[in-house]
C-alpha cells in the first residue's frame, strides 16, 4: 500500500465496542503512519473515541437526520466527497452495510468487513437450541477485516483518551476503589445486594469508601446499593461525563465492573479491573495481566451474546449465586494477600 491513503472505519456503537477498535486503529497507524483515518460513530457515542491519537477525523452519525434507506444513501454520497481509498465496516449491520455498499458500488471505494459469527448460529442460540460459544475475540475479529494489510496483533491494548486537565480534577480519588454497577442488559448486572454488601465489607476492611460510577440510567440502582452499603460509598452515578469517568478511573486502584462499557474504559486508561461475567462469554476478550475474571461458571453459562432482559431459565443463578464473600476473597487474594499485608 502506498504511504498516504485515506480510510474510513465504521463502528457506530456502543461505548465498549467503539473502544475495542483502538488496537486495530493503532496497528494500522503504526504500519502506515502517513495514512489518514476517518472514524464514523453515532454522535451519542463520540466520547468513546474522540481525542484518540489514532483518529485524524471524527465523523458523527445523527440517527434523526441520517436514518432510513434514502437518508443513508445521501449520507454515503456525502462521505464519498472525502475520496476514500478503503472503507472498513467494523459494525456489519444495516446502517453500516448500506453506507459501505454505496461507497463501494458507486464510488469505487474498496471495502472490507469484519468477520461476525455465522447468522445461523445466532438464530439457534436465540432459540436456545445450542449453547453460545465464541468463535474468536471481538478485537481479533476486527483485525480480520484488515487481513490484507499485514497488521501485527499485540493483544488488547485499548485506548480511552480524555483531556489532560481532567486527571488533576480527580487526584483526590487516587487509590480509591470504584464500582461500575450498570450494563446494557439486565442479566449482565450483578445483584444490588452483592455490590452493596461488598462495598460495606471493603470499607470496613480497608478504610476507604467505594466510588459508584454510571450514567443517569444507573442512578436508581446506585441509590439502592448506597442504602444496602450503609453509607460506605461515594455515589457519583449520573454526575460525570464519559471523559470525566475515564479520568477518575485513571486514578483509582481498581474497578469492579459488569461486562459493560466501563470495563473497556478502565482498560483504556490503565486501571486494573475485576470484571463479573454471568450470561455472556469471557472468551470475547483477551484478558491482560491487569484484568481479573470473576466468573461463577454454571452449566448453562454462557447463554447469550449480549445478555437478556430476563434469565432464559428464570433462575439467574450465574449472578444470584455469586456471593459478595466470594468476590471479596478474589479481590483480597489479588490485591492485598499477595503483598503480605492489608494496606489501608
Q: Which residues on neighbouring strands pair with residue 98, listed in sequence order?
A: none
Domains annotated for the chain, with CATH where assigned, are 6-149 (3.40.50.2000), 165-339 (3.40.50.2000)
Per-residue pLDDT, 297: 87
pLDDT reported for residue 130? 60
Grid coordinates belonging to 196: 452493596
Residue-wise pLDDT for 255-269, tens only, equals 999 999 999 999 999
Which DSSP string corresponds to 65-108?
HH-SHHHHHHHHHHHGGG--SEEEESS-SHHHHHHHHHHHHHH-
Main-chain dihedrals φ then ψ at residue 235, nearest 5 degrees: -90, 105
Instruction: Report which of 224, 318, 229, 215 is spatially closest to residue 260, judged by C-alpha positions.
Output: 215
Distances (CA, A) of 103 to 74, 85, 97, 106: 11, 10, 10, 6
Q: Are 19 and 39 in contact (CB under 8 A)?
A: no
Rounded to the nearest 5°, which phi and psi values hold at 343? -70, 145
Per-residue confidence (pLDDT) for residue 344, from 0 to 100:
44
How high is the pLDDT of residue 122? 60
Q: How far apart are CA 29 and CA 154, in angstroms?
A: 14
Which stretches of the chain are DSSP H helices? 15-19, 22-31, 63-66, 69-79, 94-107, 119-126, 138-144, 165-169, 192-206, 219-228, 242-249, 261-268, 317-320, 324-335
Query: Do you find a cis peptide bond into 302, omega within 30 degrees of 0?
Result: yes
| 247, 162 Cβ separation under 8 angstroms | yes
3-state secondary structure of 11: coil
**pLDDT score of 21:** 98
Find where cell 481532567 sits: 166
Residue in 308, 238, 249, 265 with CA at minimum distance from that of residue 17: 265
pLDDT at 305: 81
Closest CA to 6 of 101, 76, 88: 88
- What is the pTM for the complete model shown? 0.94
List the one residue out of 191, 186, 181 whose CA is nearest residue 309: 186
Helix (H) or strand (E) holding 179: strand 177-180
CB 259 within 8 A of CB 183: yes
What pLDDT was estimated at residue 252? 97
Residue ranges in the chain modelled with pLDDT below 50: 341-344
Instruction: Map residue 180 onto helix, strand or coil.
Output: strand
Q: How confident is the model over 61-84, as pLDDT tens digits?
A: 999 999 999 999 999 999 999 999
Q: According to the model, what pLDDT value does residue 120 have?
A: 55
Cell triple for 329:
476473597
Amino acid at each position: 500500500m502506498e504511504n498516504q491513503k485515506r480510510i474510513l472505519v465504521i463502528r457506530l456503537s456502543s461505548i465498549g465496542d467503539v473502544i475495542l477498535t483502538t488496537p486495530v486503529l493503532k496497528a494500522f497507524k503504526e504500519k502506515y503512519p502517513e495514512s489518514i483515518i476517518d472514524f464514523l460513530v453515532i454522535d451519542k457515542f463520540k466520547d468513546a473515541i474522540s481525542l484518540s491519537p489514532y483518529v485524524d477525523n471524527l465523523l458523527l452519525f445523527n440517527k434523526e437526520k441520517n436514518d432510513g434507506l434514502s437518508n443513508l444513501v445521501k449520507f454515503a454520497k456525502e462521505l464519498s466527497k472525502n475520496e476514500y481509498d478503503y472503507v472498513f465496516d467494523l459494525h456489519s449491520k444495516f446502517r453500516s452495510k448500506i453506507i459501505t455498499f454505496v461507497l463501494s458500488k458507486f464510488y469505487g471505494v474498496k471495502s472490507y468487513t469484519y468477520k461476525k459469527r455465522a447468522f445461523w448460529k445466532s438464530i439457534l442460540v436465540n432459540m436456545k437450541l445450542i449453547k453460545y460459544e465464541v468463535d474468536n475475540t471481538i478485537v481479533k475479529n476486527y483485525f480480520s477485516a484488515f487481513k490484507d494489510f499485514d497488521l501485527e496483533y499485540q493483544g488488547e491494548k485499548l485506548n480511552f483518551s480524555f483531556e489532560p486537565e481532567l486527571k488533576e480534577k480527580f487526584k483526590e480519588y487516587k487509590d480509591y476503589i470504584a464500582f461500575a454497577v450498570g450494563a446494557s442488559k439486565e442479566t449482565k448486572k450483578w445483584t444490588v445486594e452483592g455490590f452493596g454488601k461488598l462495598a460495606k465489607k471493603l470499607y470496613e476492611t480497608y478504610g476507604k469508601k467505594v466510588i459508584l460510577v454510571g450514567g443517569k440510567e444507573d442512578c436508581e440502582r446506585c441509590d439502592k446499593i448506597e442504602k444496602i452499603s450503609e453509607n460506605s460509598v461515594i455515589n457519583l452515578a449520573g454526575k460525570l461525563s464519559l471523559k470525566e469517568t475515564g479520568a477518575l478511573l485513571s486514578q483509582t486502584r481498581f474497578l469492579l465492573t459488569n461486562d459493560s462499557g466501563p470495563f473497556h474504559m478502565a482498560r483504556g486508561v490503565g486501571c486494573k479491573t475485576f470484571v463479573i461475567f454471568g450470561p455472556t462469554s469471557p472468551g470475547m476478550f483477551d484478558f491482560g495481566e491487569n484484568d481479573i475474571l470473576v466468573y461463577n461458571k454454571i452449566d448453562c453459562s454462557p447463554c447469550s451474546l449480549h445478555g437478556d432482559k430476563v434469565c432464559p431459565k428464570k433462575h439467574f443463578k450465574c449472578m444470584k449465586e455469586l456471593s459478595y464473600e466470594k468476590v471479596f476473597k478474589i479481590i483480597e487474594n489479588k490485591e492485598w494477600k499477595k503483598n503480605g499485608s492489608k494496606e489501608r
